[in-house]
């Protein structure tokens, strides 16, 4: 009787489970989202697309109805965002482009990750504090402004996805378990790699199970040729094209196929993290001066460690230009000045030349009336280039050149010649990011004999200095009655960053005195005093890297005076001793 009763109970439990499944399916079938008109669903999809460019992969994996709707909307596929490796299939790019239709403008961002950057190396790199001071047209660092997309994982049959739907009052997240028939589906995001390499996007993880090493090797050899065959086919639709890679790869010759008309192109970037030795490519940035390519709408150009010619039509009529040359490129200074003069409407200019040649023709004064951000790094000969420029609208000045003469003379002369523009950010020898190869960073440092020129920079809000004496700068920024001053130096300064400015003797005491007078303690009755009719702003951000051994007591005191303090103490190995401590 007990056995019969247990069998009956099991049957009833099975019937109950079947009924519960039917209830769940019925509720899903009659859910409010099912009753939304298709036009409204498309509208919601577009809202999600604006926040998440790769959302089409998620939305098309929810159900057959949503899949049909998303596949019928080419705009949803018009922004290609992909972090991949040569071992991954290039057919993902083909599928993405096919679904974008034939007429929708394309916004393409592809990062090719080298397989040599294994997780251990990535983790080690992530511990290092990397400070990028070179302004980037699209933001600071690679991938600025990107959010984390899902990794596209071929061969996955089921995955949990999160659908974000725009809703009045906020964004709602609905977890959904889906089965996907498409061979390219969405997998859960893998941990992102260091932002100094890849921004915030995780890599595309290839499925290599059951694949021979010989087959993978052949795939690695041809990835670039396959991918760029599909991309260049759609060149007439490019509105924005960004391709970044960390080092030379097997099929790098595929970049030579980038040639032809791009009537919609506004931004073009091809960047490599590490310099290599390439020959002269016949591609769009190396086109002859008399070439007739339709790129009339392009305003932003970034070329880092790839070949280009100074006379290329691509290097004309730009508003944002960033160039970092290869070690084999030796351009004369007058030709560099020609590049600058050919872009008189520049607003953002970043140049790094490791081995320029002396000028052949005399350098003529060149005015850039709209330039706001100017970054210059590399060989000491570039100081002569600065002496030929007039920048009346300059807001940010970044100098990482190997100055053989005191750099303050170059800065003061540039500002005086430019009618003293309201400079708000100054960076001297502070280039610490990947790809920095100037000996200036670890050699002569800022090359400043005297900091008195800072007294002319009343609008300065951010100051970054590398490898300069520690105490003189702090004394200059201190109280006006010190060192013969009669007024506050840089009264609007809110951010101070120093790297490799080794302290000697009373360096820590000078730091405490400077902070004490600029950020007095209100609780103890401390007040800022005016000098020359000016009361300085309080420091809000202080960064010290390998400058002085402060000790926990000084660090604790700095925390009570400054909103944010980042510090790494000097190491005997002459390198970072870990990620910056946040106190």
pLDDT averaged per 10 residues, the chain (length 583): 94 95 87 86 93 92 91 95 90 93 95 66 39 34 39 35 33 31 32 34 43 58 91 95 92 91 95 82 89 92 94 94 91 95 96 93 95 94 93 95 83 94 93 41 60 91 91 88 72 93 86 91 71 83 91 92 90 43 36
Confirm if 477 and 514 have CB atoms less than 8 A apart.
yes
Q: What is the DSSP letter of 491?
A: T
The pLDDT, as a whole number, for residue 153 is: 36
Q: Which helix (H) or strand (E) segment is 534 a member of?
A: none
Ramachandran quadrant class, 249 (left: phi over 0; alpha: psi -120 to 50; beta: rest): beta
Ramachandran quadrant class, 447 (left: phi over 0; alpha: psi -120 to 50; beta: rest): left
**Alpha helices, DSSP H, located in 282-419:** 333-341, 382-386, 407-417
The DSSP-derived string for 243-274 is: EEESS--TTGGGGGG--S--TT--EEEEEESS
Angstrom distance (rounded) from CA 371 to CA 389: 11
Q: What is the DSSP letter of 188?
A: P
Unique residue bearing structure tokens 């049957």: 11
Angstrom distance (rounded) from CA 536 to CA 489: 9
Q: What angle do CA 520, 522, 523 make, to 5 degrees?
A: 125
Residue 457's Cβ-side half-sphere holds a number of Cα atoms within 13 Å equal to: 27
Residue 14's Cβ-side half-sphere holds a number of Cα atoms within 13 Å equal to: 6
The pLDDT, as a whole number, for residue 143 is: 39
Angstrom distance (rounded) from CA 326 to CA 304: 8
The pLDDT, as a whole number, for residue 196 is: 35
Tokens (6 digits) for 108: 């393409």
Tokens (6 digits) for 444: 């002569």
Tokens (6 digits) for 290: 């008399």
Q: Which helix (H) or strand (E) segment is 397 a member of?
A: strand 396-401
Angstrom distance (rounded) from CA 291 to CA 355: 27
Unique residue bearing structure tokens 């030379």: 248
Q: Which helix (H) or strand (E) segment is 391 a member of?
A: none
The pLDDT, as a whole number, for residue 402 is: 82
**Alpha helices, DSSP H, located in 506-551:** 507-518
Angstrom distance (rounded) from CA 75 to CA 152: 19
Angstrom distance (rounded) from CA 154 to CA 562: 49
Tokens (6 digits) for 170: 């906020």
Q: What angle do CA 452, 423, 565 make, to 5 degrees?
A: 75
Angstrom distance (rounded) from CA 105 to CA 47: 18
3-class SS of residue 308 = coil
CB atoms within 10 A of CB 523: 7
Confirm if 353 and 382 have CB atoms less than 8 A apart.
yes
Confirm if 429 and 445 have CB atoms less than 8 A apart.
yes
């Amino acid at each position: 009787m007990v056995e019969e009763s247990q069998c009956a109970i099991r049957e009833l439990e099975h019937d109950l489970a079947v009924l519960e499944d039917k209830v769940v399916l019925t509720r899903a079938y009659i859910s409010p989202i099912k009753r939304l008109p298709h036009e409204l669903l498309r509208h919601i999809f577009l809202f999600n697309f604006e926040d998440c460019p790769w959302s089409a992969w998620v939305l098309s994996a929810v159900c057959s109805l949503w899949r049909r709707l998303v596949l019928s909307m080419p705009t949803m596929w018009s922004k290609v965002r992909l972090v991949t490796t040569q071992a991954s299939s290039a057919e993902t790019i083909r599928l993405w482009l096919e679904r974008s239709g034939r007429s929708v403008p394309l916004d393409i961002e592809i990062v090719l990750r080298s397989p040599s950057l294994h997780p251990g190396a990535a983790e080690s790199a992530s511990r290092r504090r990397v400070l990028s001071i070179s302004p980037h047209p699209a933001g600071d660092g690679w991938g600025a402004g990107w959010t984390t997309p899902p990794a596209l994982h071929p061969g996955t049959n089921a995955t949990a996805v999160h659908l974000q739907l725009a809703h009045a009052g906020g964004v709602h997240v609905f977890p959904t378990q889906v089965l996907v028939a498409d061979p390219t589906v969405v997998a859960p995001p893998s941990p992102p790699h260091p932002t100094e390499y890849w921004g915030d996007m995780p890599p595309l993880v290839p499925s290599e199970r059951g694949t021979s090493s010989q087959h993978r090797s052949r795939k690695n050899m041809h990835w670039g040729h396959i991918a760029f065959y599909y991309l260049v086919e759609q060149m007439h639709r490019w509105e924005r094209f960004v391709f970044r890679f960390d080092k030379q790869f097997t099929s790098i010759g595929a970049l030579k196929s980038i040639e032809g008309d791009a009537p919609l192109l506004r931004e073009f970037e091809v960047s490599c993290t590490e310099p290599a030795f390439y020959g002269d490519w016949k591609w769009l940035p190396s086109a002859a001066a008399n070439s007739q390519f339709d790129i009339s709408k392009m305003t932003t150009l970034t070329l880092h460690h790839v070949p280009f010619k100074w006379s290329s039509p691509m290097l004309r009529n730009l508003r944002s230009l960033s160039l970092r040359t290869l070690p084999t490129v030796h351009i004369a200074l007058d030709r560099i000045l020609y590049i600058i003069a050919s872009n008189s409407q520049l607003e953002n200019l970043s140049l790094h030349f490791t081995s320029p040649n002396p000028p052949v023709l005399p350098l003529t004064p060149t005015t850039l009336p709209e330039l706001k951000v100017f970054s210059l790094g590399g060989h000491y000969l570039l100081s002569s280039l600065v002496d030929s420029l007039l920048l009346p609208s300059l807001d940010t000045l970044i100098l990482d050149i190997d100055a053989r003469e005191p750099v303050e003379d170059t800065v003061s002369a540039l500002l005086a010649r430019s009618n003293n523009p309201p400079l708000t950010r100054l960076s001297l020898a502070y280039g610490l990011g990947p790809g920095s190869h100037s000996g200036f960073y670890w050699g002569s440092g800022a090359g400043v004999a005297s900091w008195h020129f800072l007294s002319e920079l009343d609008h300065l809000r951010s100051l970054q200095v590398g490898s300069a004496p520690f105490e003189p700068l702090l004394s200059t920024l201190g109280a006006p009655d010190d060192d013969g001053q009669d007024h506050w130096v840089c009264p609007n300064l809110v951010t101070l960053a120093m790297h490799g400015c080794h302290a000697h003797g009373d360096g820590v005491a000078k730091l405490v005195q400077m902070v004490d007078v600029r950020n007095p303690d209100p609780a103890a009755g401390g007040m800022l005093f005016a000098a020359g009719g000016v009361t300085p702003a309080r420091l809000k951000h202080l960064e010290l890297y390998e400058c002085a051994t402060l000790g926990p007591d000084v660090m604790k005191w700095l925390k009570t005076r400054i909103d944010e303090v980042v510090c790494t103490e000097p190491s005997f190995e002459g390198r970072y001793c870990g990620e910056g401590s946040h106190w």
